[in-house]
Amino acid sequence: MSPRAAAIIPAGGIGRRMGLTLPKQFSPLAGVPLLVHTLRCFENTPAIVEVVLVVPEEYRNQAAEMIVAYRLTKVTRIVPGGRERQDSVQAGLMALSTEIEFAVVHDAARPFITPALIERCLIAAVEAGAAMAAIPVKDTIKRVSDAGRIENTVDRQRLWQAQTPQVIRVDLLRRAFAVAAETDFIGTDEAGLLEHLGLPMTVVMGSERNIKITTPEDLLLAEALLMKDERDRESLVGGMRIGHGYDAHRLVVGRPLVLGGLLIPHDTGLLGHSDADVLTHALCDALLGALAKGDLGKHFPDSDPRYAGVSSLVLLEQVMALAAESRYALVNVDVTVVAQKPKLAPHILAIREKLARVCRVDLEAISIKATTTEGMGFTGREEGISAHAVVLLAKLARI
């Protein structure tokens, strides 16, 4: 059973460094308040059951209106923040429902958090009690004296930059706050409070995109990142192509039966110029159809001696190369083979593996089904085998 986890979002900053009239968390990012971007991510994370938002007292009404306007259903409480971040997080902690086991503390000003990173931190915290996102320091770090001179270069091998979320078991976090209060300790983050208590915290690899918006330059960077996401989404949806292929070959004695590149033991085989692999032919035609580039016969004519007896997987490879040239990636394939005999079920996995390898996609992207026609028609009379294929292609974004 997954633990009951709640998010605490301290949004107490008043945006002094931003020179804004509104606190930065309410200022728009691509037309939507920064805080809403952050909260939407928690809405989309199944493991999070409630969200406690901590805002300056004078902005509580505005926050409440925003929650309604953007239909954020997981925000259960909006509580006033304190002077320091630590006070705000503590206020949030006190407002959590009693059944919550893990507190997921996340900066309101990190809108590029993802459900996947939240869940990775939560899984690590369930194991160790506490875990947080962080990334290795990239820049060379210098220690500088008050006089503005470099004292030394700090070994950055073991230096990590703290991010959020910081996920802590609620009882540990309560204890950390109690000890901090007793000893007048102020930490810059929750990890600091745990360190003060002498408790270890696991580090989870964060993301370079999980930036904290602190300066006007950060806001520009965030706008650019959002615009890129939007463009990628558009190019993916705009560039979807569907294709259909159908093929049939006659069954004769004295020929091998090859389906999806796999040699299948049977007393008859398919007749044709190449290996007569009806399944692969239907798939190639579906791909060419999605690309609007004609059919297999146009690209590899029967009259061309180069293709006599060739494995149809070679043709499939060339068709896939054609798709790649047009910057299309294969999303998925669904093929139905119509054959009275032999039984294909025992061979389907091997065929999928062969095709996935040639098409360079995951096994899950290749579906192969087989059916009989209950003795009806040419397939039912075992005069031949036919195959239907559909494919979906997606245009790759220009890098």
Per CB under 5 A, residues contacting Mg ion are 247, 281
Q: Residue 270 Cβ, how far from Mg ion at the closest point, in Å? A: 8
The pairing of strands 384-395 and 32-33 is unpaired
- Residue facing Mg ion at closest CB distance: 281
Cα separation of 14 and 20, whole Å?
9
Q: Residue 250 Cβ, how far from Mg ion at the closest point, in Å? A: 11
Cα separation of 261 and 257, whole Å?
10
Q: Which is nearer to Mg ion, 66 or 296 (CB)?
A: 296
Q: Which is nearer to Mg ion, 90 or 280 (CB)?
A: 280
Q: Which is nearer to Mg ion, 35 or 389 (CB)?
A: 389
| Cβ neighbour number for residue 131 with a 10 Å cutoff | 25
Q: Which is nearer to Mg ion, 110 or 281 (CB)?
A: 281
Q: Residue 280 Cβ, how far from Mg ion at the closest point, in Å? A: 9
Q: Which is nearer to Mg ion, 162 or 315 (CB)?
A: 315
Cα separation of 343 and 265, whole Å?
10
Cα separation of 328 and 313, whole Å?
19
The pairing of strands 384-395 and 240-253 is antiparallel
The closest alpha carbon to 173, from 63, 291, 93, belongs to 93
Q: Residue 347 Cβ, how far from Mg ion at the closest point, in Å? A: 19
Q: Residue 272 Cβ, how far from Mg ion at the closest point, in Å? A: 6
**Torsion 53-54-60-66 (CA) sign:** negative
Q: Which is nearer to Mg ion, 229 or 302 (CB)?
A: 302
Q: Which is nearer to Mg ion, 107 or 247 (CB)?
A: 247
Cα separation of 359 and 354, whole Å?
9
Distance from the Cα of residue 311 to its chain's centroid: 36
Evaluate whether 173 touches 90 at the Cβ level (below 8 Å): no
For 71-110, b/e burial (b = at least 16 CB within 10 A) is ebebbebbbebbeebbbbbbbbbebbeeebebbbbbbbbb
* Run of H or E residues at 10: strand 5-10
Give backbone dihedrals phi and psi of 36, rounded to 5 degrees, phi first.
Answer: -65, -40
Q: Which is nearer to Mg ion, 9 or 389 (CB)?
A: 389
Q: Residue 281 Cβ, how far from Mg ion at the closest point, in Å? A: 4
Q: Residue 246 Cβ, how far from Mg ion at the closest point, in Å? A: 10
Q: Which is nearer to Mg ion, 281 or 352 (CB)?
A: 281
Q: Which is nearer to Mg ion, 65 or 302 (CB)?
A: 302
> Going edge to edge, which strands form the sheet with 268-270?
268-270, 240-253, 384-395, 328-338, 366-371
What's the helix, strand, coil split of the chain in %, to 5?
40, 30, 35
DSSP 3-state assignment of 140?
A: coil
Q: Residue 282 Cβ, how far from Mg ion at the closest point, in Å? A: 8
Q: Residue 290 Cβ, how far from Mg ion at the closest point, in Å? A: 18
DSSP 3-state assignment of 331?
A: strand
Q: Residue 6 Cβ, how far from Mg ion at the closest point, in Å? A: 59
